Amino acid sequence: MTETFYAIKKVPASLEIPHQRIDVCPKGCMLFWKDATHLDICEVCHAQSYRNKTLKGKLIVKKEMIYFPLTPRLQRLYAIKNLAREIRWHSKN
C-alpha cells in the first residue's frame, strides 16, 4: 500500500481497467446511482451526501465507491494464456 491518499486514488487509473465512481451515503445505506444521481440527501437515513463546496463551486462527495465492471476484468483474465487454460479446466468439472 502507498503512504498517501492521493497515491491510492491514482491506483484505478494505473490498472487501465474501466471504472466508475459512484457516490454513496456516508452511512452506507444507499448508492446515488442511475435514477438517484440527482439526489443530495439519502432517502433512507436523510444524511447529506456532499460536504461544502470548494472555492470553484464544486461539491465534495463525503463517500464514494469505485465500481469495476465484470466484462473487462474477465477479458483481462482470459488474455493470459496459462491462466485462461486453468479457468476453463475448472469450469468443466
Q: What is the pLDDT of residues 11-70, one digit of tens each?
A: 777 777 788 889 999 998 998 888 888 888 889 999 888 887 666 777 888 898 888 888
Phi (first) and psi of residue 61, to 5 degrees:
-75, 140
Measured between alpha carbons, how far is 51 from 64 in angstroms, rounded to an integer?
12
- Whether this model's pTM surpasses 0.85: no
User: Is a pLDDT exceeding 80 seen at residue 87?
Assistant: no
- The alpha carbon torsion through 14, 18, 22, 27 (nearest 10 deg) reads -60
The pLDDT assigned to 51 comes to 81
- The DSSP letter of residue 88 is H
Residues in the chain: 93
Q: CA-to-CA distance for 40 and 25, rounded, in angstroms?
A: 10
